[in-house]
Structure 1
């Protein structure tokens, strides 16, 4: 029987399709074609350790002048001399300004003259009183005349004392014409020059002086650090560290803790003082500040990479008896000396150190090495 050409092609096509389907099914069902199961992640464990660690607190703050003085005139007078250059470092008691003193000199001379007049009147009244004593005993003068002598003596004595006070006042006014530095420090910009009128009521000072040595620092710390600082201060002065203009660490001493915690920010304000004889610390400068707040005994430490950060806070991975990963929440207190100081893990507990970022809770793992005594 002859088969037409179109029918022959259809039969061949059907045979090829069936053969291909059978071959594909054979490959899928073959054990060699089965995909191998994924291997469990490889992790390394480390034991939490306890150490006595120095408690070092880091924060930021500003250097501040412990004493800033606005130098002002006490009298109204023109500036006769400026005895320094703006920006100079000056010593306490150093002459800064000389004001015109013509009026004050005249007032002093007048007060001296008045004192001489009052002295003469007082001396005459005392002499009259002494003569009157003998006369009154002999009844040569009346009681009323004696009372007049006594009153005159008292009056001129009082006027003499008042004249002495006038001299002291005039001397004080004259002293105001020479203005000296009330503190040692660095002067700011000059607001007057020779010929300017200096007035006590002026809104601008003649010049401002910032004390540089010693100098202070102001900073804040979170309220959870307050107790540690208080305890440390009870044992010895708490050291505070900043960097000078050369980048050298300079130690100061904590000398002020505010009397309350800010309910808005949850922080406490602190102040420290530093010697600054070389003037390498500058008021107003922003500084990274370190506080040595004693020692934390028995702090639990882990490698920093063992502590993970999740949406609910920090945690570590531990491995159960079935070699499955599980999470344990911890509190990360700080990173110090390449160690993470934590709470929530007991000493000796094994946690995942390497490979933790590949894990998910409940995932099976392969433990590579257990470093029970590994040094951190």
Structure 2
């Protein structure tokens, strides 16, 4: 029998056919079906992290708007009649104390009238002394018969008339002294000058307002609160007031107006501000400013989620709940109070609900997601930075 020798090319072809046959035998229909199923399996839309709502104690606040006004204003007027104003010592914004001299009127005419009143008093006293001496002598001669009863009566009457003239002269002198006092306009109380109409050289009539001042420098916030919220407020309630310029102060409710406005159905709540609020030209609050504020009414328990978990779409707020099948469901919620980076959720969630935090803004209802731990997400975010 002859030995057949195969060429190298033939050997290579034979090996290819053998391997191909083995591969076809191993790749069964079951394996093919599994591969097709794997290829058709849905892919996760996003890798996310989740958390559960947390109960927290949040402050209860009542917001309101209003104006800043003076606690009380004092009008400083002229009490002099027909006198010329010679000196004005204060201007708008100056802080004054009770009794400080604000303006001075010319006292030349008043001093002349005062000197005349003093002279008239001295004359009345001299006449009264003479009348008293005559009346005393007449009374000593009453029983002697040297003077008639009518003459004695005349001396007594002259004495009484002289005494009355002394009283009248003293009253006239007091009037002139009072006029002299009125030539110096003094502050009726401590406070801040808020308006000035006094002009040097002007002759003011009695009752003319020269200055207006904020008594004791005290300001108040007059907040407008609707009638249904008034029962939550009482004197002593704290309020945080923020002015239009960004300044912020803490005040306390002094009183609540006894009436409600018929047009707006709101009442004024008077909040005392610290004295430093209106303490001078550079004070943060000014009378007439608009200010907003919040009354602090205590605390209450609330269910909160991270701010990142809230998604706002079409004007509504939503969160995404992670279901057991790794799909998410979009739930409409009503946000409430804020505390740092957490927001209160009013209804729609339970304490054990898994809420998507990272990636919530890129999801749609029904998406399949891949949940990872927060630490893993942070490590993945930091990897590109380390690579750089």
Under TM normalisation by the shorter chain, which class is it?
0.5 to 0.7
Shift of 1:145: 4.2
Shift of 1:61: 3.1
User: Which residue of 2 is the match for residue 14 of structure 1?
Assistant: none
Shift of 1:169: 1.0
Match runs of 1:155-234 below 5 Å? 155-187=161-193, 191-200=197-206, 202=208, 205-210=209-214, 213-230=217-234, 233=236
Distance 1:159 1:41, change over 3 A: farther
Distance 1:45 1:156, change over 3 A: farther
Q: Which consecutive unaligned segments of at least 5 residues does structure 2 have?
A: 1-36, 372-388
User: Which residue of 2 is the match for residue 273 of structure 1?
Assistant: 273
SS at structure 2 position matched to 1:261? coil
User: Which residue of 2 is the match for residue 60 of structure 1?
Assistant: 65
User: Which residue of 1 is the match for residue 119 of structure 2?
Assistant: 113
Question: In the alignment, which of 264, 280, 289 is matched to residue 286 of structure 1?
Answer: 289
SS at structure 2 position matched to 1:218? strand
User: Which residue of 1 is the match for residue 380 of structure 2?
Assistant: none
SS at structure 1 position matched to 2:102? strand
Shift of 1:325: 7.5
Q: Contact 1:240/1:272 (CA < 8 Å) preserved in 2?
A: no
Q: Distance in 2 between matches of 1:116 and 1:165?
A: 13
Distance 1:367 1:342, change over 3 A: same
User: Which residue of 2 is the match for residue 126 of structure 1?
Assistant: 132
SS at structure 1 position matched to 2:64? strand
- Which string of whole-angstrom CA distances, capped at 9 and with x for unpartnered residues, describes residues 105-159 of structure 1? 1221121122112222333333334334433355655544444444433333233
Shift of 1:286: 3.0
Distance 1:272 1:188, change over 3 A: closer
Count of residues in correspondence between the two structures: 328
Shift of 1:291: 3.8
Distance 1:364 1:309, change over 3 A: closer
Shift of 1:263: 4.3
TM-score by length of 1: 0.63
Q: Distance in 2 between matches of 1:344 and 1:150?
A: 101
Q: Contact 2:247/2:284 (CA < 8 Å) preserved in 1?
A: no
Question: In the alignment, which of 295, 299, 303 is matched to residue 298 of structure 2?
Answer: 295
Shift of 1:280: 1.7
Shift of 1:43: 11
Q: Distance in 1 between matches of 2:190 and 2:361?
A: 59
SS at structure 2 position matched to 1:256? strand
Match runs of 1:132-147 below 5 Å? 132-137=138-143, 141-147=147-153
Q: Quick check: which has more Rg, 1 or 2?
A: 2
Shift of 1:177: 1.5
Shift of 1:352: 6.8
Shift of 1:164: 1.3
Shift of 1:326: 10
Distance 1:327 1:113, change over 3 A: same
Distance 1:268 1:92, change over 3 A: same
Q: Distance in 2 between matches of 1:224 and 1:320?
A: 42
Match runs of 1:315-334 below 5 Å? 334=337
User: Which residue of 2 is the match for residue 238 of structure 1?
Assistant: 238
Distance 1:337 1:129, change over 3 A: farther
TM-score by length of 2: 0.62
Q: Which consecutive unaligned segments of at least 5 residues does structure 1 have?
A: 1-31, 370-376
User: Which residue of 2 is the match for residue 22 of structure 1?
Assistant: none
SS at structure 1 position matched to 2:122? helix
